[in-house]
């Protein structure tokens, strides 16, 4: 079978299952008795195995199979969850991720058998008291064992009044009534199809009266490894069972003469059932069956429905490229709209012009709405990225031998897909940094009267047109003096400069390339490639990062990201006859300044504005162009803010606010740092986008 066309789906779904397993096993570590968690793990492992099998990845299948075995024993309670076992399971997940990565690269699972892990899994399996020997070839052994306990399974088949009627009629006709349980092989992939063949085989010899689970559920494959039937037939039991067993991938079929119970007895099956449940292997026990056997049939129905609902994911997977195309079309539309706006300003004033303007305003609201909805489609919760962090912190706890706990809020905060894809690594760096450098060792914490368990917080929330992600720890904080010494040692500044610099300036050195203060180079962080990489990554996403710290109390890294990258609100300005766009995000005010108010401080031009001293940046000088204003004319100054810093950009003229589409300039033009891209204006002209942050 050619399965390559399913490869993408396989990769996506396997990733989801692995993430799910990671989360659930973490939960299991906290609460080893939680049945829901265990069941969820079992289901995920089972699906993984099935998927790997279908795709023909034998090694992956073997590993997941053995993992599933362990979970199944945990489910029955014959193995207790313990720390080494959790460790092994995490290692298995890592191994599966490796397989997946290999498959993604080479469309092949590679040749790592992960022998030690499989041995370890089997050792765990065999450690459960030895009452049942489980060899590697488990599939062949289980059916026999199941058969012994399953012979009574068919007794639970519920009999509706009309079924009783059928049974009575059939008995009157002299037919035999059999109850039987059919067990499907564990490796069987198309269970519903096998069940269908079983039904077909039986119908050649007799008639199926009732099934457990219902025929619909069997058809939808909502059963695990067995299903039970009540059958009427003229033939002998052995013949019917034989026909069933002939269907391939059927492990076994057992049955007996079905005796119709007394009316009163069917209404109160509790008397029989509990003893049966105890002897049954839960491995093959349909999960939904437990409540069913005890409860009245009427209660069972809604319960099943909720289960089915959870499985149904009401989403559509869309290729990000298709969304990009859609996004580009919306961009084009906005450009076209802008050009209509600019040509309409010519016609304004006339009677025709007003009607035209109304239409344009209407078009404007439509394009804005369209833009917003396309943006929303591209938004994904950061959950998919931050989900892997609890696991990482757990591993770090062991590696660094520090006790710590991660608290996350705002996982549902949404960001543009492209941003979410890129934000994982910087966040991971920051968390590792907090765990390694931020938090003190357990002994130090106790000595300082802090809780021995360190806390790391990851909070995400939306703030206007930005999303803020904070990584906070209650550790040692950053020692500005230690950084100061390091700065001198590393020749980042002289001793005098270091002594004169403010703590904030000193701490911002941490984001400089090649500056790492960890005393030891550890596996976790401290290669000097942490924070500067974080900074450049965040900046490449048009975001910013800052740090706040208090010695002895902890530090907070604050990342600020724009909600969207492609379309922004910008202020259009003219400098020396050229048009430029400045993102509206950083702009505080626009001021009209008399050149006489400009003072010189340390040979830099500044202005006093409402009590603060603001340095001036003359854009004509920065952009290598002649200003068209006379020196004694009043200056137009755009006040921009970056963090706590303000600066005034001197421009020639203001055009106004406009929605602009950011276009890449291609890789052949090595644009300078403060040009973040280009945009196409309504008249087809190009304006460059100035990054005010890079200018300050």
Partner 1 sequence: MAYEISTQVNEIIQYVVVRIGEEQYGIDIKYIDNIVRMQSITRVPKVPAHLKGVINLRGEVIPVMSLRIKMDMDEDEITKDTRIIILKINHDGIGLMVDSVKEVVSLNVAEIEKVSFENRDERNAFVQGIGKQGDSLISLLDINAVLQE
Supply φ then ψ for residue 424, to 5 degrees.
Answer: -60, -50
Give the CA-trace dihedral at 13, 15, 21, 23, to 10 degrees.
-120
Rounded Cα gap, residues 134 and 283, in angstroms: 14
Q: State the nearest-atom distance from the C-beta of 196 to partner 1, in Å.
A: 50
Q: Is 68 a catalytic residue?
A: yes
Tokens of 638: 């755009």
Annotated catalytic residue within 29, 40, 68, 422: 68
Strands 612-618 and 645-651: what pairing?
parallel
**Of 579 and 641, which CB lies nearer to partner 1 in the complex structure?**
579
Nearest-approach distance from CB 579 to partner 1, in angstroms:
8
Query: In which residue are the tokens 């049942």 written?
Result: 132
Return the range that interacts with partner 1 (CB under 8 A); candidates 67-75, 190-198, 514-522, 660-668.
660-668
Is the distance from CB of 428 to CB of 389 less than 8 angstroms?
yes
> In angstroms, rounded to a whole number, what is the distance separating the alpha carbons of residues 10 and 51?
7
Q: Is 572 near partner 1 (CB under 8 A)? A: no
Q: Is 670 a binder of partner 1 (CB under 8 A)? A: yes
Min dist CB 320 to partner 1, Å, is 16
Residue reference for tokens 């706990």: 405
Put the strands of the sheet holding 604-609 in their side by side order. 587-593, 635-642, 645-651, 612-618, 604-609, 599-601
* Gyration radius from the chain CA atoms: 35
Task: Name 686's bridge partners.
Answer: 680
Residue from the set 642, 663, 695, 696 that interacts with partner 1 by CB under 8 A = 663
User: Could you give phi then psi for residue 685, rounded to 5 degrees?
Assistant: -75, 155
Nearer to partner 1, 277 or 339 (CB): 339
DSSP H/E element including 95: helix 83-106
Cα–Cα dist 274/692, whole Å: 73
- CA–CA gap between residue 485 and residue 496 (Å, rounded): 11
With CB under 8 A, what is the number of residues at the site for partner 1?
25
Catalytic site residue 22? no
Query: Would you say 312 or 669 has its CB closer to partner 1?
Result: 669
Stretch that binds partner 1, among 49-57, 592-600, 636-644, 672-680 (CB under 8 A): 672-680
Task: For the CB of residue 542, give the shortest distance to partner 1 in the complex, in Å.
Answer: 17
One-character DSSP codes across 47-87: HHHHHHHHHT-HHHHHHHHHHHHHHHHHHHTSS---HHHHH
Q: Closest CB to partner 1 among 58 and 673? A: 673
Six-digit token pair at 150? Answer: 């399953």
Residue 435: name the closest of 414, 466, 456 by CA: 456
CB of 250 to partner 1, least distance (A): 55
Contacts to partner 1 from residues 216-275, by CB under 8 A: none
Burial class of residue 357, CB neighbours in 10 A (0-12, 13-18, 19+): middle
Instruction: Tell me if 321 contacts partner 1 by CB under 8 A.
Output: no
Can you tell me which of 98, 141, 504, 578 binds partner 1, judged by CB under 8 A? 578
Q: How many CB atoms lie within 10 A of CB 399?
A: 13
- Complex with partner 1: residue 488 or 695, whichever CB lies closer: 695
Hey, which residues between 620 and 639 contact partner 1 (CB under 8 A)? 622-625
3-state secondary structure of 600: strand
Q: Is 688 in the site for partner 1 (CB under 8 A)?
A: yes
For the CB of residue 19, give the shortest distance to partner 1 in the complex, in Å.
33
To partner 1, the closest distance from the beta carbon of 626 in angstroms equals 12
- Asked whether position 686 contacts partner 1 by CB under 8 A, the answer is yes
Task: Report the site for partner 1 in 334-373 (rule: CB under 8 A).
Answer: 335
Q: Which is nearer to partner 1, 9 or 694 (CB)?
A: 694
Which is nearer to partner 1, 295 or 332 (by Cβ)? 332
- Residue among 20, 69, 114, 433 flagged as catalytic: 433
Give whichever of 92 and 662 is closer to partner 1, judged by the CB atom. 662
672 binds partner 1 per the rule CB under 8 A: yes
Least distance to partner 1 from the beta carbon of 662, Å? Answer: 10
Q: Which residue reads 């489910």 in tokens?
A: 75
Q: What angle do CA 559, 564, 570 make, to 5 degrees?
A: 100
- Give yes or no for residue 695 binding partner 1 (CB under 8 A): no
Query: Which of the following is catalytic: 46, 65, 153, 429?
Result: 46
How far apart, in Å, are the Cα atoms of 334 and each of 220, 320, 330, 392, 682?
48, 21, 6, 43, 9
Binding test (CB under 8 A) with partner 1, winner from 58, 246, 599, 671: 671
Which SS3 state, helix, strand or coil, does residue 250 take? strand
Nearer to partner 1, 423 or 681 (CB): 681
Q: Where are the alpha helices (DSSP H) in 268-409?
A: 273-279, 289-294, 297-311, 320-347, 351-378, 383-386, 389-400
- Using CB under 8 A, pick the residue from 84, 220, 685, 694 that binds partner 1: 685
Would you count residue 408 as binding partner 1 (CB under 8 A)? no
Query: Nearest distance from residue 324's CB to partner 1, in Å?
Result: 13
Which among 469, 456, 462 has a CA at the least distance from the CA of 424?
Answer: 469
514: left (phi over 0), alpha (psi -120 to 50) or beta: left
Active site residue 433: yes
Query: What minimum distance in Å lies between the beta carbon of 677 and partner 1?
Result: 8
Stretch that binds partner 1, among 8-16, 82-90, 355-363, 670-678 (CB under 8 A): 670-678
Q: Considering the rule CB under 8 A, would residue 177 count as an interface residue with partner 1?
A: no
In terms of CB distance, is 269 or 682 closer to partner 1?
682
Site for partner 1 (CB under 8 A): which residue of 106, 306, 315, 664? 664
The stretch near partner 1 (CB under 8 A) out of 256-264, 346-354, 514-522, 676-684 is 676-684
Active site residues: 46, 68, 433
Binding region for partner 1 (CB under 8 A): 332, 335, 578, 622-625, 663-672, 675, 678, 680, 684-688
């Amino acid at each position: 079978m050619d399965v390559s066309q399913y490869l993408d789906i396989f990769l996506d779904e396997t990733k989801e299952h692995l993430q799910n397993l990671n989360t659930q096993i973490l939960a299991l570590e906290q609460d080893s008795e939680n049945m829901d968690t265990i069941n969820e793990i079992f289901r995920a492992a089972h699906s993984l195995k099935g998927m790997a099998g279908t795709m023909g990845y034998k090694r992956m299948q073997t590993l997941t199979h053995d993992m599933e075995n362990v979970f199944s024993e945990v489910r029955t309670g014959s193995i207790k969850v313990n720390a080494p076992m959790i460790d092994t399971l995490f290692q298995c997940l890592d191994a599966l991720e490796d397989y997946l990565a290999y498959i993604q690269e080479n469309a092949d699972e590679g040749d790592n058998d992960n022998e030690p892990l499989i041995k370890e899994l089997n050792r765990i399996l065999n450690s459960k008291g030895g009452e049942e020997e489980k060899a590697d070839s488990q599939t062949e052994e289980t059916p026999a064992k199941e058969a012994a306990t399953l012979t009574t399974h068919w007794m639970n088949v519920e009999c509706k009044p009309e079924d009783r009627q059928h049974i009575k009629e059939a008995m009157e006709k002299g037919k035999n009534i059999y109850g039987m349980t059919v067990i499907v092989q564990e490796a069987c992939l198309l269970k519903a199809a096998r069940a269908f063949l079983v039904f077909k085989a039986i119908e050649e010899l007799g008639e199926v009266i009732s099934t457990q689970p219902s025929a619909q559920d069997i058809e939808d494959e909502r059963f695990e490894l067995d299903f039970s039937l009540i059958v009427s037939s003229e033939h002998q039991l052995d013949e019917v069972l034989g026909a069933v067993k002939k269907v391939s991938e059927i492990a076994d079929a057992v049955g007996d003469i079905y005796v119709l119970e007394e009316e009163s007895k069917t209404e109160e099956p509790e008397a029989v059932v509990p003893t049966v449940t105890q002897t049954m292997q839960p491995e093959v026990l349909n999960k939904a069956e437990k409540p069913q056997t005890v409860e009245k049939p009427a209660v069972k129905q809604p319960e099943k429905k909720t289960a089915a609902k959870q499985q149904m994911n009401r989403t559509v997977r869309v290729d990000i490229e298709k969304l990009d195309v859609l996004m580009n079309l919306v961009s084009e539309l906005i450009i076209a709209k802008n050009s209509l706006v600019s040509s309409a300003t010519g016609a304004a004033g006339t009677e025709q012009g007003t009607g035209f303007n109304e239409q344009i305003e209407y078009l404007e609201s439509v394009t804005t709405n369209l833009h917003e909805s396309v943006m929303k489609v591209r938004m994904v919760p950061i959950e998919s990225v931050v989900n892997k962090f609890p696991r990482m912190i757990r591993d770090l706890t062991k590696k660094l031998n520090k006790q710590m706990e991660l608290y996350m809020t705002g996982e549902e905060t949404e960001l543009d897909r492209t941003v979410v894809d890129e934000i994982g690594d910087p966040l991971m760096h920051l968390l590792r940094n907090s765990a390694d450098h931020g938090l003190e060792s357990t002994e130090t914490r106790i000595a300082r009267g802090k809780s021995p368990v360190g806390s790391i917080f990851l909070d995400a929330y939306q703030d206007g047109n930005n999303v803020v992600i904070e990584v906070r720890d209650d550790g040692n904080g950053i020692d500005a003096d230690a950084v100061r010494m390091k700065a001198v040692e590393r020749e980042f500044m002289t001793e005098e400069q270091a002594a004169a610099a403010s703590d904030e300036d000193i701490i911002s050195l941490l984001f400089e390339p090649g500056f790492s203060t960890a005393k030891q180079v550890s596996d976790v962080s401290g290669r000097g490639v942490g924070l500067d990489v974080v900074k450049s990554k965040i900046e490449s996403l048009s975001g910013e990062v800052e740090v706040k710290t208090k010695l002895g109390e902890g530090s907070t890294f604050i990342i600020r990201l724009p909600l969207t990258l492609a379309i922004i609100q910008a202020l259009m300005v003219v400098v020396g006859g050229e048009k430029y766009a400045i993102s509206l995000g950083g702009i505080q005010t626009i001021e009209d300044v008399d050149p006489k108010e400009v003072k010189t401080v340390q040979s830099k031009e500044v202005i006093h504005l409402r009590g603060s001293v603001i340095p001036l940046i003359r854009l004509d000088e920065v952009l290598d162009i002649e200003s068209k204003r006379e020196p004694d004319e009043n200056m137009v100054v755009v006040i921009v803010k970056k963090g706590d810093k303000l600066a005034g950009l001197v421009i020639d003229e203001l055009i106004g606010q406009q929605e602009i589409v950011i276009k890449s300039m291609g890789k052949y033009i090595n644009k300078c740092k403060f040009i973040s891209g280009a945009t196409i204006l309504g008249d087809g002209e190009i304006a460059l986008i100035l990054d005010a942050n890079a200018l300050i």
